[in-house]
Amino acid sequence: MEIQIEDAAPKAPAKPAAEKPAAKPRLIKMKRNPETFAAPHEAEVHISEVENYIRGGWVVA
């Protein structure tokens, strides 16, 4: 029977891979008619929300 002896020295924790900087969210400039709607009249909207804003009277600037 063979016994293996492990090195008692603590191992350094693995270094995490270099993190990439977070990408800036893609924003779309939108506006709506100030004669029809109360303020605000301009907005920068995340691309995933554009359809929701269009339903609320906004248009892509």
Output the pLDDT for position 12. 67
Output the pLDDT for position 52. 97
* Residue range 14-47, pLDDT digits in tens: 666 778 888 888 999 999 999 999 999 999 999 9
Per-residue confidence band for 8, with pLDDT thresholds at 50, 70 and 90: low
| Integer Cα distance of 41 and 56 in angstroms | 12
Output the pLDDT for position 43. 98
Partners of residue 59 on adjacent β-strands: 31
* pTM score of the predicted model: 0.61
Query: What is the DSSP annotation of 4-48?
Result: -----SPPPPPPPPPPPPPPPPPEEEEE--TTTSPSP-EEEEEGG
